[in-house]
């Protein structure tokens, strides 16, 4: 049985007739009449109730149920579309339900959101959207609650999306953050933090912030990485991809399943965001004096950056040690670095804050720190609802500790790359400033100088750091700081 089809995404039925009651989750009902909507509903329930990740659960569920073609495409659109605009739909549903939304049964709420998405954001005719969702409700949660779903969705269908936003969102002139929170389906605190990272203030209208929020709700293109020494961009282009804009290893896949590409199937290429490729590449471009044979990826799971670094290291006769604290994720890293040129990748299950290596052991160190993930909301839209205003503060101690440990792990004259998939200033600038204030042996490099092919990257004091943006670069919002450890006296 595959890793994705085991217990995190499956649970026993709670009883009741097949297709009714509280089944939810990824348990497959027998012969569903509408497999696409049933799959989307089951994923939405699992995300809401068990903190499942849609990008992991949906593909495995589609495979398990044999859903393909147009049904798979519809299930994907319904799942991700509903998750992206969940905040907007909840504001609409609050007006259409005769009690608080929090009091609606947990197995019914995903049906209401699913129906709202079809009515407000797709070209599905309203009568078909209501009828299909009510039919699903009757099969999944019973006829009585199906009547409730029908009544609510008929109220939703009274206006289009813009009409509802004009009714349920705060006045933009009075409360810009509140308006954008509802109109673009982000928690209010996230809107404020993203605006702060962009350097915008509410009184200025938050124009660029709105562009960023809108980009988060767009369907991201699939980006592939050709692992150096094992595949080329030309190989991916021959398989139907398009040469990417920035990374010399990247290609965009306009359509189709990445796993069907031979190079991906053979682990010679992989799915990886372009910014993720470039922050790893920047680390390898920094000039070093002396030895350059020992590299470390300190927080390597699930292995995307480690796979690229191992290939680059092998081409230079260097070796990469990829460390990951969770054994299961370390197994994923091992798969990512497998068959790197010169067998350059090695994996260890280890805690970066309690290192299993001697100080000063490495020439280059990457610390891709755990973070709020505000930079990857296009691909993981449900993440925005799982974090709170205190999330960055909760992670800051760990981020600081990992960066300090990385500074200890690198040799004098070596370089550390601090990376987060978040633009939140408390996870980026604040962490780096804190380390620099405590240690006199680190010097920040101007990171944008190592990524000349990408415009508009420089951020932070004197433009020292790099910040990618979805609405500017079409990538995740990756942050990068490069720090060189001073040579010994």
- Residues with active-site annotation: 421
Closest CA to 32 of 82, 59, 67: 67
CA distance 51 to 29: 21
| Helical residues (DSSP H) of 14-142, grouped into ranges | 35-50, 54-65, 69-84, 86-96, 109-121, 126-141
Which class for 120: exposed (0-12), middle (13-18), buried (19 or more C-beta within 10 A)? buried
Distances (CA, A) of 321 to 267, 420, 422: 19, 20, 25
Q: Which residues, 6 or more positions from 412, have their beta carbon under 8 angstroms from its beta carbon?
A: 360, 441, 485, 486, 487, 488
Pairing of strands 294-297, 362-368: parallel
| DSSP calls for 90-111 | HHHHHHHSSS-GGGS-TTTHHH
Query: How far is 207 from 201, CA to CA, in rounded Å?
Result: 10
Angle at 208 between CA 207 and CA 209, to 5 degrees: 90
What percentage of the chain's residues is helix, strand, coil (to nearest 5)? 50, 15, 35
* Residue 409 phi, psi (nearest 5): -75, -25
């Amino acid at each position: 049985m595959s890793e994705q089809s085991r217990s995190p995404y499956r649970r026993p039925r709670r009883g009741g007739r097949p297709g009714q009651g509280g089944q939810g989750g990824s348990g497959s009902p027998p012969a569903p009449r509408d497999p696409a909507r049933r799959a989307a509903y089951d994923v939405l329930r699992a995300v809401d109730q068990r903190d499942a990740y849609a990008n992991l659960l949906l593909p495995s569920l589609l495979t398990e149920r044999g859903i393909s073609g147009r049904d798979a495409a519809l299930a994907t659109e319904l799942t991700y579309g509903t998750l992206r605009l969940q905040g907007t739909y909840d504001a609409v549903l609050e007006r259409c339900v005769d009690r608080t939304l929090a009091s609606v049964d947990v197995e019914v709420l995903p049906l209401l959101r699913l129906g709202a998405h079809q009515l407000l954001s797709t070209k599905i005719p309203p009568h078909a959207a209501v009828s299909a969702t009510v039919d699903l409700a009757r099969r999944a949660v019973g006829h009585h609650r199906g009547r409730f779903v029908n009544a609510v969705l008929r109220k939703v269908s009274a206006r289009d999306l813009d009409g509802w936003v004009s009714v349920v969102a705060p006045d933009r002139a009075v409360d810009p953050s509140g308006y954008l929170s509802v109109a673009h389906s982000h928690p209010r605190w996230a809107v404020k933090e993203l605006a702060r990272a962009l350097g915008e203030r509410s009184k200025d209208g938050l124009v660029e912030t709105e562009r960023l929020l809108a980009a988060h709700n767009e369907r991201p293109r699939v980006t592939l990485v050709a692992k150096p020494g094992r595949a080329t961009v030309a190989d991916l282009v021959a398989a139907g991809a398009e040469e990417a804009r920035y990374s010399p290893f990247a290609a965009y896949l306009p359509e189709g399943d990445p796993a069907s590409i031979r190079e991906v199937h053979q682990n010679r290429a992989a799915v990886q965001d372009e910014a993720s490729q470039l922050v790893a590449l920047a680390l390898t471009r920094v000039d070093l004096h002396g030895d350059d044979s020992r590299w470390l990826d300190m927080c390597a799971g699930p292995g995307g950056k480690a796979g690229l670094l191992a290939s680059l290291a092998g081409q230079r006769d260097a070796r990469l040690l990829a460390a990951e604290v969770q054994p299961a994720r370390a197994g994923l890293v091992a798969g990512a670095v497998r068959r790197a040129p010169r067998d350059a990748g090695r994996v260890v299950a280890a805690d970066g804050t309690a290192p299993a290596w001697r100080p000063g052991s490495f020439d280059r160190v990457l610390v891709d720190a755990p973070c709020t993930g505000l930079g990857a909301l296009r691909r993981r839209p449900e993440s925005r609802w799982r974090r709170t205003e205190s999330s960055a503060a909760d992670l800051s101690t760990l981020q600081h500790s990992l960066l300090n440990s990385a500074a200890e792990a690198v040799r004098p004259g070596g370089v550390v790359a601090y990376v987060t998939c978040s633009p939140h200033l408390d996870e980026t600038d604040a962490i780096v400033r804190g380390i620099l204030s405590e240690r006199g042996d680190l010097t920040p490099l101007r990171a944008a100088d190592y990524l000349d092919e990408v415009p508009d990257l420089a951020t932070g004091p004197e433009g020292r750091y790099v910040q990618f943006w979805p609405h500017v670069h079409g990538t995740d919002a990756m942050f990068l700081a490069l720090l060189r450890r001073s040579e010994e006296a």
